[in-house]
Structure 1
């Protein structure tokens, strides 16, 4: 006689509890391990209680799938040795303001891959079990993921951006990213990434600071101090670029300076520096892209006003 199934069956309760830690998603293997048969899965899907995600995962509700659930489904689709990689691993680790069209999953070269257009599942020669964190959702370690995200980025600009973002948001340290980069022996972007990581190790904390540092060197202007700490009665703050000997400060205004939570703080910091007698120049990142020479002229003028002179 066939087993009578109810949605309050202990097996189904256990399944929902397990799925709660996986964005509402379980793999077929997990469901079968709970003694839920493929026929019962089919019945729940037909009753519109559950949804199939690819051919290896089941969403145990009939509502929208969360980003976390999408990531779990992608890993299950990739197979037992699969893991989130590149930008997807960084996002799972907490990286913000970085998006991907599809979840990226890596498997070892030669592994059987169940292709699905919903996910970006790739074999890679860079896959190694020692690089994978298997607490929670399987994902590549953050420093490794940052380098791979940069290697796989669509453009050099995006590659630079994701490395800066990872360091800026403390997802991975510049030192750890640099150590990981030493493992890359061949890649068309290797030289670029070495340049970016060297800048990050030297203290650059935003994409604009890296750009300005390169332009200053080309122009023959003195190297600035980066992320110098200043204190006033309101607390301490960091200066993007400064030349203490010439009483000049340059602040690089990226898009984050326009966010509401930063506007007041930026104004107070600017005013405090000016009251101490320093000249403060602000360079919007967009202006740096469109009119770099005009802003470099102002920096040079500020340095000369502070007493600097080009060596003969």
Structure 2
């Protein structure tokens, strides 16, 4: 049949065009969904072989970021792009973990430069600068968030595993308190996750701290105050009470007790950030201006409160705060 020849000759070309269209569409979706970062395995799956990748790299349109990952953008990578590099390099059975996952869920003031990636198999792949890989034997179906975008752990297991295995005890408790204070989770949900992650290092410490956090402690320092009160049989202080200083500015005090004579004793806890010259001057000025004839203000460092709570308690009791310490502590 005369017409069959041209139709047969055009059919392969038509198929090639359709394949090219599908491939280009798949690439655009990958690039859009993954902030311009693509794994070689993903490119191979949509029909872009390594020779084609090398051609794009040679033309300086793409950049090799790791032996397994390329970027379709040049220049310095953003935080989101670096996270994609880490997860894609580790493979399909990997998720963001630790403070990296917590940051993605909205935790503020705890960011770290390194990207943390959890993997469920042996770390047989190459080192990636700026990325820390940790193996977890726990089922990823339990840990993984359903949030769209880059695969990541749920907030609660992410911070609990980080606090248990990657942080000093005090810092670990601090991140739990921060997550609750920022209303990203609750002490009750974190306690439930301790059970789900059993066995978990420092589980007893975390349960005790979460009990105080549930009562309103919003930082590691506040937890240390609670422990000091328990040690010295002191009543729990009123926290974050608003006061108007002599300049008319509204201030919030860290801890307040009322003595039997009706005088108010205020304890202000100074962390490392308060030791900078400009901050230190502001803090001293603030303390002077909230001091009154019936209100005494004293200060201690977060280090003292953590490591020398007895000495701090002795001074507070001497000022009239109700409490009792063993004779050996005085």
**TM interval, short-chain normalised:** 0.7 to 0.9
Residue from 227, 230, 240 that aligns with 2:254? 240
The alignment status of 1:205 with 2:218, answered yes or no, reads yes
Residue from 52, 57, 73 that aligns with 2:69? 57
Provide the TM-score with structure 2 as the length reference.
0.73
Q: Distance in 2 between matches of 1:261 and 1:10?
A: 60
Partners of 1:77 and 1:114 within 8 A in 2: no
Match of 2:15 in 1: none
Q: Secondary structure at the match of 1:105?
A: strand
Q: Secondary structure at the match of 2:196?
A: coil
Provide the TM-score with structure 1 as the length reference.
0.76
Partners of 2:267 and 2:300 within 8 A in 1: yes
Match of 1:88 in 2: 100
Q: Secondary structure at the match of 1:282?
A: strand
> RMSD of the alignment, in Å?
3.8
Instruction: Give the Å deviation of 1:134.
Output: 3.5
Q: Secondary structure at the match of 1:125?
A: coil
Match of 2:268 in 1: 251
Partners of 1:184 and 1:190 within 8 A in 2: no
Structure 2: gaps (5+ residues)? 1-20, 326-330
Match of 1:6 in 2: none
- Indicate how the Cα distance of structure 1 residues 269 and 136 shifts in structure 2: closer, same or farther if over 3 A, else same: farther
Partners of 1:79 and 1:113 within 8 A in 2: no
Q: Distance in 1 between matches of 2:293 and 2:34?
A: 53
Match of 1:116 in 2: 126
Match of 1:39 in 2: 51
Match of 1:223 in 2: 236
- Indicate how the Cα distance of structure 1 residues 289 and 180 shifts in structure 2: closer, same or farther if over 3 A, else same: closer
The alignment status of 1:194 with 2:207, answered yes or no, reads yes
Residue from 58, 82, 91 that aligns with 1:70? 82
Structure 1: gaps (5+ residues)? 1-8
Q: Distance in 1 between matches of 2:155 and 2:293?
A: 41
Per-residue CA deviation, residues 262-307 of structure 1 (Å, 9 max, x unaligned), is: 7798567645642483222222213435654443222112225xxx
Instruction: Give the Å deviation of 1:90.
Output: 1.0
The alignment status of 1:182 with 2:195, answered yes or no, reads yes
